[in-house]
Amino acid sequence: MAPALLSLLACGPDWLADDAASEQDATVDLGGDEDGKLALDRMTVAAPHVCAEAVEVLTLSNVGAGMLRIDELEIVGEGWALPEDLELPLWIEPGAGYALDLQTSTGEAELHITGPVTAARVPLNATADAAPEISLVSPISSALVDVGEILALEAWVTDDADDAEDLTVRWRSDLDGEIDAYPAHPSGFVSAEWKATERSPGSHTLTLQVTDTCGNTTAVEVPVCQEGGLAMEGERFTYSSHATWLADDECIRLTPDEPYQTGTAFVLDSTIPAGDVDIEFNFFVGATDGADGFSLTALDADRRTELIGAEGCGLGYGDADSSGCITGAAGLPGWSIEVDTYYNPEVDLSEADHVAMSIDGDMTATLFYAELPELEDNTWHTMSVVTSEGRIEVAIDDVVYVEQALELDFDAHVGFTAATGGDANLHLIDELKVREGYCY
């Protein structure tokens, strides 16, 4: 770049008038030998985005015919300094230049250049590199994260000097530590997935920290609460008899649509509080004749000895002595809520499909009994069971069929049972979510 030329038409320190400051093709006569003239490569020296320290070079050139003499270089202001080894007076030969290193951190100052007769002034300005800016998209503050949910972590980031992909991105939970992070997209979009299997239940403070190449860091925090419990994971269940995990369909098959089949599936590696839990799942009953049904069972962890109860109308959980239609097996300890799709006069109060609840497999002493619409329609249905503060609520397809007082207090293994008899149905379970009330 050719030097910018500064002009002096009269002697004295006030030579830099507003109209003269914008001239690019003039010279400054600082005295010295005849025709020594100063040219500067820029009118002002600016140092943007300074990390800690920076050096800006101002070139002093002699565009005159004789030697140029500079008697004094002085900085007036803050944040700028001259080289410690600078020796004055400074002589510059005609056609030559001198690279003046100006050291800076941040601040505003003015460089005074003084010769035998006149003076020149050059504004100096240095600004610190700014920290990145963050605009958080997800999650929202105080979000309730459901069991099994993959939580999207998303934000937009920008920096005054660095490209977005050069920023260091870090997500962290105060409860679980570091979360996998990915570099920002060139557009500035930052995204990561926080998997349910990597989260602990309870209250988390999530922190997104973004650092630029200068070392400046910006962080934003957002509180979220991870609901406790478990989600549908086929490998966590223990299967009995004809029950199995259908890997291709990612659901539990309690029984095939064949006669005289029984199956149960329980999560035995954890327990739930039987009287304070929120359970939600999808079920399918159908495909053939319509027998017999299934149960959601909270198996008492302290009293369990077996994982399967009576067959047929016992639905895989009932006590054979109480059911009266199948003999041989004891009922499962705990509570069971059955969805019965076949009329067995020995135990059923009506011919309609129904939902009922028993304790310890005693099917003759139901705690509630409610008729249901026809469920064997070869479609999936939803069911939820909530126990809390001495009450229970049961809903199917978003219709509440049971809501009453009920005291339950034991630790249980959650699971399902089902059975067929002379008639059969396919019994499937999917999308299980068990919430334990950490966040409400």
- Dump pLDDT digits (tens) for 58-111: 999 999 889 999 999 999 999 999 999 999 999 999 999 999 999 999 999 999
CA atoms within 13 A on the CB side of 167: 33
> How confident is the model at residue 295, as a pLDDT?
98
If asked whether residues 71 and 189 sit together in one domain, one would say no
144 shares a domain with 59: no
How many C-beta neighbours within 10 Å does residue 140 have? Answer: 10
For residues 380 and 336, state if they share a domain. Answer: yes
Percent of the chain past pLDDT 70, that is, above it, reads 90
Residue 282 within any structural domain of the chain: yes
pTM over 0.85: no
Q: Does residue 412 fall inside a structural domain?
A: yes
Task: Show the domain range for 160.
Answer: 133-227
pLDDT at 26: 43
- Indicate if the pLDDT at residue 22 is higher than 80: no
How many domains, in total, are found in the chain? 3
- Residue 62 placed within a domain: yes
- Range scoring the smallest mean pLDDT among 21-25, 69-73, 429-433, 436-440: 21-25
Name residue 188's amino acid.
G
Task: Please indicate, yes or no, whether residues 281 and 396 belong to a single structural domain of this protein.
Answer: yes
Residue 159 has pLDDT above 90, yes or no: yes
Same domain, 417 and 301: yes
Same domain for 151 and 211? Answer: yes
Using CA atoms, how far residue 319 sits from 316, 322, 326, 330, in Å, is: 9, 5, 9, 5
Check if the beta carbon of residue 114 is closer than 8 Å to that of residue 8: no
Res. 412: pLDDT tops 50: yes
Asked if the structure places residue 28 within a domain, the reply is: yes
Per-residue pLDDT tens digits for 207-235 = 999 999 999 999 999 999 998 888 998 99
Please tell me the predicted confidence (pLDDT) of residue 395. 98
Claim to verify: residue 41 and residue 24 sit in the same structural domain: yes
Residue 311 and residue 353 in one domain: yes
Task: Give me the sign of the Cα torsion angle 61, 65, 67, 73.
Answer: negative
- Same domain? For 60 and 138 the reply is no
Task: Examine residue 245 and state whether it is found in any structural domain, yes or no.
Answer: yes
Reference 129, options 218, 44, 214; nearest CA is 214
Tell whether 430 and 294 lie within a shared domain. Answer: yes
- Mean per-residue pLDDT, 405-426: 95
Give the residue from 128, 160, 185 where a domain finishes: 128
Quick one: tokens of 287?
A: 């495909």
Residue where one domain finishes, among candidates 76, 106, 128:
128
Residue 227 in contact with residue 193, Cβ under 8 Å?
no
Query: pLDDT by residue (tens digit) across 381-404?
Result: 999 999 999 999 999 999 999 999
Asked if residue 440 belongs to a domain, the reply is no
Same domain, 255 and 387: yes
Task: Based on the fold, state whether residues 208 and 271 are members of the same structural domain.
Answer: no
pLDDT of residue 324: 60
Examine the fold and report which residue of 128, 151, 179 is the final residue of a domain before the chain moves on. Answer: 128
Q: What is the pLDDT of residue 118?
A: 65
